[in-house]
Amino acid sequence: MSDIVGQAAAAAGAGPGAPARARAVIIGAGIVGNSLAYHLARLGWRDLVLVDKGPMPNPGGSTGHASNFIFPIEYSKMMMELTRDSTEQYKQLGVFTESGGIEVARTPERMTELRRRCTQARAWQIPAELLSPAQVRALVPYLDERVILGGAYFPTVGVVDSLRAGTLMREQAEGSGALTVLAGAEITGIVTDPDASRAGRFDGRTGGRVTGVRTTRGDIETDLVAICCGVWSPRLARMAGARIPLTPVVHQMISVGPIELFEKSPGEISYPIVRDVDANMYERQHGGDMEVGSYAHRPIIVDPDAIPSIEQAALSPTELPFTAEDFDPQLAQALELMPGLLGDERAGIRYAINGLISMTPDGHPVIGETPEVAGLWSVAASWIKEGPGCGRAAAEWMTGGVPEIDIHEADVSRFYPHQRTTAHVTARAREGFNKMYGIVHPAEQWESGRPLRRGPAYDRERALGAVFFETAGWERPHWYESNAALLERYEERLMRRPGEWESRWWSPIINAEHLAMRDNAGLVDLSAFAVLDITGPGALDAVQRLAVAQMDVRPGRVVYTSLLDEAGGFRGDLTIMRLGAHAFRVVTGGATGMMDAKWISDHLPDDGTATLADVTSAWTTLGLWGPKAREILARLTADDVSGQGFPFGTCRPIEAAGITVLASRISYVGELGWELYVPAEQGAALWDALWEAGQPSGLVPVGIGVYGTTGRLEKGYRAFGNELTAEYNLVEAGLARPTVKSGDFIGKAAYLAQRERPPAAVLCTLTVDDHRSASGEPRYMLGGEPVLGPDGQVLTDARGRTSYVTSAGSGPSVGKHILLAYLPAGQAREGNRLAVEYLGERYPVTVAVVGARPLFDPGNERVRA
Amino acid sequence: MEVCVCVKRVPMVGGAIALTPDGQAVDTSMSGFTVSPHEECAVEEAVRITERHGGTVTVLTLGPPEAEQQLRDMLALGAGRAVLLATDGTERGPVATAAAITAAVRDRGFDLLLFGNEAADTGGYQVPVRVAHALGLPCVTGIKRLEVTPGAGAAGRLVAGREYRGSLESFELPLPAVVSVKEGINLPRYPSLPGRLRARRASVEVLDPGPAPAEGLRTERLRVPRAPASRARVLGSGAGAVPALVRVLDDLGVLR
């Protein structure tokens, strides 16, 4: 027997002391920390320490009050995979109970959304079925079917015991001798060595390197600290000078009981969980009670510093006092849906909380080493449904491997500095909260915190009626209303979309701009490019190690290359200019800029012979493309811009309109032209000069709708995150080159192995043969739809990967709606007739191209003109 | 039976209590609000009385405009009417509180005024007695058992019981009367969903209590007494802990 005297005494240092040294210190014993400890131990790490200021098994974080149900369907593929993996882990631990779950629709718009959701489920092999109101009622006898129009049934929905799962994982790690658990020990400091700062390499890293932690039970030396503290994570990160961009947000939940019907049913749950998505609520049986949760109330953002201590909290620190005035407006809708069951006067609200959960600006977890402090990891903003999956992915990554699930969308380094500010995080959490169960269009734009990053030509673009979309804080014209005048000229080829959904966040002007660019020329604002300079005597070696392509080219060459991870999956997709013997300029997309910067920085030599500088804010980029691009540029420069004098794939400084411009002759839209790099403060001047010089040639401003979709798809260019993910490889993507460079590079061994075996799937360009739906209205796919074989089944390759549309968009010049999709090798035949499922209907498609050959201008004559 | 229950909005505490830096109030930035537990029992008792004998429960509070939320909480439990004597949020002492309540209930014809024995925060134990005195009504306090016999005029009466040093005292009072009750008199119900919905839709009568008369007492400063450290005993783990656990349960008298 032993006595433990109160929390205060434990915090003051009672209990076993801390070991002096640890391989890794994991802070937080919620589902994530326990899972991370378990997986690190499983992967062979020992001398692990798990610290939590609270008591076991429920130290008081969000795991302790979670509603613990898991729907397999998600909007993001990564989230779906993390959830799938987590479910498998819960099942192996024996804590999963399958209950089924139904999302019900109260509106026609939602019914359509549920149809979309079932289609999405099919693409990912998730069992799903549309139900009529009567069918819903048959499964949920206490639901009033007159309130709903139908539902989407997901039979593999289930509930878990997350506290038990965490305990089992922790105990297994402890039992194997790999883990010491310090419960009731508080972290009072995270120690860093500022001299180990890699500021010379990458200006994002300012906080040095982790060397240990201080706890109320003693100090621990360690090279790796993992913050798995859920809503407290920002507070812990700040101790080391890093920022974890998440915020605690209130999610209200009540538990109503006793429910007479449930008292007769065995176990925790016997009826499907109902998501009343149009009311932003859910109803889930929990033993004799019904839990009703809400995302409908006003967003209640809580400062991490305002979370009560364990001592102060009435229930637990993350179960704040219920504010009935926020919940009450929802009662009528809950009663309407389940009048008999929830309307029972004998059933009382026995438990009600303002539960704290974590939210991030984009709704995804934050996993990985923080960009500011080496050795300081974040594994946070993970909910119950993805917790074990996040723990596993983080453990695989920490131990030097590549996470089996591509988690780049959860990478903590994806955020730019402005996205890590409290203002941004809280504004986006506020905006995102009520969208939790919303019908969110894939192109839907955020409203808060805009405009922030404005390119030098922003005012010109506004004057031209630019409709701005946001990428990484940048305001990017997606199309220009001033080009509406082009609609008449191209009316026959606009591929107008009568369907409201497909025309949302879209305009036929995009297709008109596209055609005008192909006819004459277009001017594209590319300010959002991330520009990273790698310089120094070791720069060539460093770049060679990072890039698949041969980088030992003469200065003045531009190379398009992939970056691979050790397992041969895509880690980056970008262009590199060799500016000099020891100078390379990496240009990459705004969305991935920060991740690319960290990846490159992490792989620069330790001796400091190569340094990385993020010069994004110093440079702006304008794209000039189209058959008339040369004549326009020639009006501004005396330099040789002829086909021979300035061939494709080269770059060099020219003087244009009195400005020194770094011109780079490449194209992502398949036209003759240049990316023009100028110091940011001269960007507007260059825009004006090009604009004026372009008028006689019919130059139009062109938005990202063309640059990122229509122009790209006609050329079959692959996009990182869509086609290029860790799931597929260079060979499958059709990007393998005839030879492999002799020197070593990251992922080379895996790449060589990929080349040896026939690809299981091949990336193909498909065109839609007939858009007519059953109602006669033409419909246009937006991406994510499953590809079906002649038997109506979703195509699946030899490795079990299903075929789905990775990118979709108009091809105005080829007169077809274009889809990219990986097809099983056996189905990848040009002319092969397949089908795509969209909104529950099938549309015939044809495989137009197998591999990377462009649909438009297959000989690339225009690019090389 | 027309029953009035007086309640007070107080900080919801379950953990360590923190004070504002000036020591004049409880720091409520991390706590919610509720009514005193004794008062919750008073409302439950009132609801049961009206369920049995008919009539209405009116809940009344003196407090800031936000106290409307606590009134609605009580409406959700079965009270039918609510009266808010809205202050500017400044705490009023027992003299002022009793004066405001007295003025508000005087001509409303209540058969019974129920109070909690004392407020959970200030614990003055005075308001029910002061109200009874001002209205010239009979009063018993600390009640844990209550039986009401309604009736017109002298026929209406109640029998109230309280425990005192191990014995049970029983009082018989004519109605109308003032009674303050203690936790344990009943087990209050939880609000039902329809109850909350009714409460949300109900109207709350807001009255101006007027200026506060002078108090005889004044708060100098609050102090949180040192609580004895909580003590948890680990009895063992697994099946080996069962005998020790059985002994503890036996000592607690929960085994039969």
Could you read off the pLDDT of A154-176 as tens digits, one per residue?
999 999 999 999 999 999 999 99
A312 to B16: CB separation less than 8 angstroms, yes or no: yes
Could you read off the pLDDT of A229-252 as tens digits, one per residue?
999 999 999 999 999 999 999 999
Q: What is the CATH number of the domain that holds B95?
A: 3.40.50.620
> Which CATH code for domain A530-615+727-755?
3.30.70.1400
Which of B68, B193, B198, B247 should one mutate to test binding to chain A, selecting the residue with the greatest count of A CBs within 10 A?
B193
Neighbours of A266 (CB within 10 A): 7
In contact, A46 and A23? CB cutoff 8 Å: yes
> What's the ipTM?
0.88
- Within 8 A by CB and 6+ apart from A739, the residues are none
Q: A15-63+162-246+362-422 has which fold?
A: FAD/NAD(P)-binding domain (3.50.50)
Nearest to A321 among B31, B73, B234 (CB): B31
Active site residue A728: no
In contact, A557 and A651? CB cutoff 8 Å: yes
Nearest to A321 among B12, B234, B236 (CB): B12
On chain B, the residues whose CB falls within 8 A of the CB of A350 are: 190
Shortest distance, CA B95 to any CA of chain A (angstroms): 31
- Chain region(s) in chain A for CATH 3.30.70.1400: 530-615+727-755
d(CA A500, CA B213): 67
Could you read off the pLDDT of A514-523 as tens digits, one per residue?
999 999 999 9
With cut-offs at 50, 70 and 90, classify the pLDDT of residue A3: very low
With cut-offs at 50, 70 and 90, classify the pLDDT of residue A15: low
Query: Does B255 fall in a domain?
Result: no
B29 or A579, greater pLDDT: A579
- Residue span of the structural domain in which B224 resides: 2-231
Q: Cα dihedral angle (A583, A587, A588, A589), rounded to 10 degrees?
A: 150
Query: What pLDDT does A1 receive?
Result: 38
Query: Does B41 fall in a domain?
Result: yes
Nearest to B15 among A313, A324, A342 (CB): A313
d(CA A602, CA A78): 24
Active site residue A573: yes
On chain B, the residues whose CB falls within 8 A of the CB of A349 are: 190-193, 196
Query: Does B57 fall in a domain?
Result: yes
B24 or A708, greater pLDDT: A708
Shortest distance, CA B132 to any CA of chain A (angstroms): 33
d(CA A737, CA A697): 37
Minimum CA–CA partner of A318 in chain B: B30
Shortest distance, CA A60 to any CA of chain B (angstroms): 13
Domain total in chain B:
1
Could you read off the pLDDT of A828-855 as tens digits, one per residue?
999 999 999 999 899 999 999 999 999 9
Query: What pLDDT does B13 receive?
Result: 77
In contact, B61 and B67? CB cutoff 8 Å: yes
Minimum CA–CA partner of A345 in chain B: B192
Catalytic residue among A85, A278, A344, A573: A573
Query: What pLDDT does B253 receive?
Result: 82
Q: Average pLDDT in the A296-309 region?
A: 91
Query: What pLDDT does B230 receive?
Result: 67
In contact, B217 and B93? CB cutoff 8 Å: yes
Nearest to B69 among A256, A325, A344 (CB): A325
Query: What pLDDT does B113 receive?
Result: 98
CA B235 to chain centre: 38
A582 or A10, greater pLDDT: A582
Could you read off the pLDDT of A60-119 as tens digits, one per residue?
999 999 999 999 999 999 999 999 999 999 999 999 999 999 999 999 999 999 999 999
Query: What pLDDT does B236 receive?
Result: 82
Active site residue A282: yes
Query: What pLDDT does A9 receive?
Result: 40
Contacts with A, B 122-181, CB within 8 Å: none
B15 to A312: CB separation less than 8 angstroms, yes or no: yes
Catalytic residue among A39, A65, A251, A408: A251
B200 vs A: CB within 8 A: yes
Q: Please name which of B166, B169, B161, B120 lies closest in space to residue B144, comparing C-alpha atoms.
A: B161
Q: How many helices (H) and strands (E) does chain A have?
A: 24, 41
Query: Does B252 fall in a domain?
Result: no
SS (H, E, C) chain B: CEEEEEECEEECCCCCCCECCCCCCECCCCCCEEECHHHHHHHHHHHHHHHHHCCEEEEEEEECHHHHHHHHHHHHCCCCEEEEEECCCCCCCHHHHHHHHHHHHCCCCCCEEEEECCCCCCCCCCHHHHHHHHHCCCEEEEECEEEEECCCHHHCEEEEEEEECCEEEEEEEECCEEEEECCCCCCCCCCEHHHHHHHHHCCCEEECCCCCCCCCCCCCCCCCCCCCCCEEEECCCHHHHHHHHHHHHHHCCCCC
Nearest to A314 among B13, B229, B233 (CB): B13
Query: What pLDDT does A637 receive?
Result: 98
On chain A, the residues whose CB falls within 8 A of the CB of B72 are: 324
Tokens of B133: 């005195």
Shortest distance, CA A814 to any CA of chain B (angstroms): 60
- Chain region(s) in chain A for CATH 3.30.9.10: 94-159+249-357
A343 to B236: CB separation less than 8 angstroms, yes or no: no
Q: A94-159+249-357 has which fold?
A: D-Amino Acid Oxidase; Chain A, domain 2 (3.30.9)
d(CA A319, CA A308): 10
d(CA A591, CA A586): 14
Could you read off the pLDDT of A479-536 as tens digits, one per residue?
999 999 999 999 999 999 999 999 999 999 999 999 999 999 999 999 999 999 999 9
What is the rounded average pLDDT for all residues in chain A? Answer: 95
Query: Does B221 fall in a domain?
Result: yes
Q: Average pLDDT in the A733-747 region?
A: 96
A314 to B14: CB separation less than 8 angstroms, yes or no: yes
Query: Does B239 fall in a domain?
Result: no
Query: Does B240 fall in a domain?
Result: no
Query: What pLDDT does A779 receive?
Result: 96
- Chain region(s) in chain A for CATH 2.40.30.110: 760-865
B244 vs A: CB within 8 A: yes
pLDDT above 90: residue A752 = yes
Tokens of A270: 């016997």
Phi/psi of residue A613, each to 5°?
-125, 130
A324 to B193: CB separation less than 8 angstroms, yes or no: no
Taking one residue from A and the other from B, the number of pairs with CB-CB distance under 8 angstroms is 100
Question: For chain B (length 256 residues), average pLDDT per consecutive 10?
Answer: 97 84 85 92 98 97 96 97 96 95 96 96 94 97 95 85 92 96 96 95 96 86 79 81 90 80
CATH superfamily of A760-865: Aminomethyltransferase beta-barrel domains (2.40.30.110)
d(CA B10, CA B14): 12
